[in-house]
Amino acid sequence: MFYALLLQCLTLVSFNVENLFDCEHDSLKDDVEWLPDGKNHWSHTRYWRKVNHLAQEIIACGETDDGWMLPDLVALCEVENDSVMRDLTRRSALRNARYEYVMTDSPDPRGIDVALVYSPFSFSLLHHHALRVTPVKGMHPPRDILYVCGRVMGGDTLHVYVVHAPSRSGGERATRSHRLAVAHRLCASLDSLHQCSPHAKVLVAGDFNDDRHSPSLDLLAGKGLVDVSVNAQGTHGAKATYRYQGEWGSLDHVFVSPSLADSLLDCRVFDAPFVVEEDAKFGGIKPFRTYLGPRYLGGFSDHLPLVARFRL
């Protein structure tokens, strides 16, 4: 009975993986800090350790009280290129899952992109393309938004957007217009989609670098989308996906159309003991990250994944 229930679910993981760079120089990108002789001393050993760490974490995200199955969709932020995605899906502990992926090729100066990993057994890809965001004054070329359309088990069409909005580096207020530019571009695409398909099932996931009551996310709520991750917490002490100076914050979000919100089974932060560590300074736990500044820690990511399950 539990297995039958799992087969009727769609599981999404949304995860900022913290700088998944390979060890090769891209002459068109500012990636020198992620080379073996760069300031981070990013070696092949460290790279493969991270790749397999991420694979382990994605696999573990499929575990629930009802049993375990591989996630159907995995929205990833901070992946460098096709090489790291190929290694993650075909050469890591995920290689037997037969995952496929699509990703962007953004003008981001560092080469940071987003990707959607999907199981072809539960999600049939129909179409995908990147949404280019026009920079506003003082803004570096931002990361593209990834749009993916496919059919899930049962035949319904699902429209997925993967977002990695600009950071707050320089101050929240000073960079607010940067994230609003991304939100406006996303809303323009949603408007076009709803003109063609008013009752489209939409899922928007990623790192928005904003909390729920920020202007950029208010725009999405104004389009009728529901933040199903707003109260997501972990089961081992995590109160959100990100922790800074002892304070938990929700920079990562999952927004869905009302029809999908009605079919939500649960949304949680994945905080299994192996992906967190003790916060010796502030108490409690924090994500077990790969780097803390220039210091290599050997962990997983500075963000914890969101895991959302929907009834099909």
What angle, rounded to 10 degrees, do the helices at 44-60 and 82-90 form?
60
pTM for the whole structure: 0.96
- Quick one: tokens of 279? 């916060």
- Print pLDDT tens along the chain (312 aa): 344 445 589 999 999 999 999 999 999 999 999 999 999 999 999 999 999 999 999 999 999 877 889 999 999 999 999 999 999 999 999 999 999 999 999 999 999 999 999 999 999 999 999 999 999 999 999 999 999 999 999 899 999 999 999 999 999 999 999 999 999 999 999 999 999 999 999 999 999 999 988 999 999 999 999 999 999 999 999 999 999 999 999 999 999 999 999 999 999 999 999 999 999 999 999 999 999 999 999 999 999 999 999 998
Instruction: Give the separation between CA 216 and CA 209, rounded to whole angstroms.
Output: 10
Instruction: Give the separation between CA 152 and CA 123, rounded to whole angstroms.
Output: 5
How distant, in Å, are the alpha carbons of 100, 149, 197, 257 from that of 200?
24, 11, 5, 8
